A and B are shown apart, each in its own frame.
Chain A
Amino acid sequence: MTKTEFPPAIKSRPVYGELAPRSGTAHVIVADGEGAAAVAALFDKAGDARAAMLAKTHILYAPGPTGVDQWPLIAALCAPQAQRTPSVSTLLFRLARVLQDTHMGAQFYLSGTEGLMGQAQRDIMATGFPFADIQTEHRGSTLRRVQCVHCKGMTENVATDPFKCSHCGLHLFVRDHYSRRLAAFQGVNIDAEDPGQIPAAVERFK
């Protein structure tokens, strides 16, 4: 099994599952990095329904934060609509356009990094689609997207704890507390009580 297994310690972190085919009026698929393999596996599970499902499928894909690019796995599916985007932010821009033409009854499949899935889920739900129509499967990098609780700036692809906020420059520890609305973990100033006493950064997320 290549899907990521997380320890159950963080109660506010989403529980990710495994993508499985469902019946729907359309299938919108969003993936990055190693998530491409989960998308390929999804269609393998469809069996006889594979061709019919593919015919109603739109896939958006971006390389992962560590540079993993499995676009050939997506291209090989020959979905009627599939776009490779250069970054997550570009992908979300395209997703917003796709959602304009997507109707109730569509099914959503998200796979790859937590940051990508969280932001895509946020945008899909903001459009009015129900939570229950969105499936997620974590694959690949566990780099974290973190909001600085002080300046509110987002730092993408955080690998170490503590790390330096890419906006206000404060040194932040990564609290194990996740907001689905922000699709981010919380970063809190680590030397607020003892300014300048910053522990060595440890690589916690890869």
Chain B
Amino acid sequence: MSLDFKPTFDGFFRDETFVGDFTFRNSPASIRRFPFPFDRDEYMYSVNIEPHVPVVGRPNSVFQHAFDVDEHYVSEMRDRARVLAQDPLRCQSLPHMELAGWDLLELIMESKARDYPQWFSLSKSGDQWHWINRPLGIEQRFTFLDSSTLPYGPLEYITRQTQGDFTLQDERDQNLWVDAGMVTTQADWSLDFDIGMNFFEWHAPVPLAHEKGIFDRALKFLLKLQNGAPVRRFNWTMTVNPLLDTAPETYPEWGTMRTTVTPENVGEKLHLRVELQALFRLPRSNAIAFSIRAYLGRFDELVTVPKWGRRLHRVVRDLHPDLAAYKGFLRNRDAMAQWLSQYDDGAPTSPGIWPED
């Protein structure tokens, strides 16, 4: 690994895989803080955007910090390095986006050093910066805004050390243009194909939402995004096996896994894949950073929370078939709904996403 990282698994970080033998699991504590995306028993698109701030009374939630670091951190970074070694096109930045990359590096380093001082530290003397990432065994002295002092461009450098995919959007002509990104944990979209597109173009394949005006409203909202006031939303899909990398590039490698679902193995094969998406206006470049953090929850882990078992059954059973097809699980939907039905006694569920207290 060219980042020269020496990962340590110190008892908090899990040593697990997202490919091959698929040893990924959530600990009981990790299940309790899973970002369950459904606040009611049904799902349809909405512009479900809210301020990206901590939730009062939920200090352990994934919303607590700008960039959540959890027990999967070290293994996810190892998986990203594996994907990038196979396909360097997963990280690209058009030439005018380097400043935005520095903006993002600063935002992440300052956030992590503040929020997780036991793992990360950042000290500055003018433009001479000193960064320590203890879980990955990285120590780096560099000159801020001078790319020649880092082993990669700023976007690639910092996102090799940060969970979740990232894209950087340039703003011009009253539109947002996806002109840079690090994308190795995506739900079936290609950065290499989409880079350079505007907001409507890169969302072109999404069904139903254009006609509902979702993208017009979302773009209008995002163009008003202010520095220091990030926002977030959920997206979700289903993944067979805990694959972080479900890229179109490697679809021939993972596509057949979708055919391995049987009524007996739904609980261990199917994963609810939740994307916690956050948007940050960047101070120098005026670009918008978009973080897409994927959380995987095995069905048999999620149903240990009775409310989530009931609700997941109802959402899967009743989802519009176009959406099930777009999200890639139409072929397994009946088996999923059947398996989940044993966890749905028909009892009412409480509003909101949280497990019962």
Contacts and interface: CB of A to CB of B under 8 A. Distances in A.
Interface of A: 10-13, 147, 149-150, 152, 170, 175-182, 186, 188-189, 192-195
Contact of A150 (B196, B201, B252, B256): B252
A186 B202 contact: no
Q: Chain A at the B interface: mostly helix, strand, loop or mixed?
A: loop
B200 interface: yes
Contacts of B252: 150, 170, 189, 192
A149 B259 contact: no
Nearest to A14: B201
B192 A175 contact: no
A12 B251 contact: no
A12 B248 contact: no
A181 B195 contact: yes
Given A182-B193, A193-B331, 15 more contacts: A11-B200, A11-B203, A11-B204, A12-B202, A12-B204, A13-B204, A152-B192, A177-B205, A179-B196, A181-B195, A189-B251, A189-B252, A192-B256, A193-B256, A195-B256
B249 A150 contact: yes
Contacts of A177: 193, 204-205
A172 to B, nearest CB: 11
A84 B252 CA distance: 42
A12 B201 contact: yes
Contacts of B254: 192
24 contacts: A11-B201, A11-B203, A12-B200, A12-B201, A12-B202, A149-B190, A149-B248, A149-B251, A150-B248, A150-B252, A170-B252, A177-B193, A179-B194, A186-B190, A186-B193, A188-B248, A188-B251, A189-B251, A192-B252, A192-B254, A192-B256, A193-B255, A193-B256, A195-B256
B259 A181 contact: no
Contact of A176 (B89, B202, B205, B251): B205
Assign chain B's interface to a size class: 20 to 34
A161 to B, nearest CB: 15
Interface in B233-283: 248-252, 254-256, 258-259
Given A11-B203, A149-B190, A150-B252, A194 B197 contact: no
Given A11-B204, A149-B249, A150-B252, A180 B190 contact: no
Contact of B196 (A181, A188, A189, A195): A181
Contacts of B258: 193
Nearest to B202: A12
Contact of A147 (B193, B197, B205): B193
Interface of B: 89, 190, 192-197, 200-205, 210, 248-252, 254-256, 258-259, 331
Contacts of A180: 196-197, 201
A128 to B, nearest CB: 12
A179 B248 CA distance: 15
A194 B205 CA distance: 22
B193 A10 contact: no
A193 B256 CA distance: 4
B251 A192 contact: yes
A188 B258 CA distance: 16
Nearest to B195: A181
A79 to B, nearest CB: 32
Contacts of A192: 251-252, 254-256
A12 B255 contact: no
A90 B177 CA distance: 31
B251 A150 contact: yes
A175 B205 contact: yes
A90 to B, nearest CB: 26
A3 to B, nearest CB: 22
A149 B249 CA distance: 5
Nearest to B205: A177
B203 to A, nearest CB: 7
Nearest to A194: B259
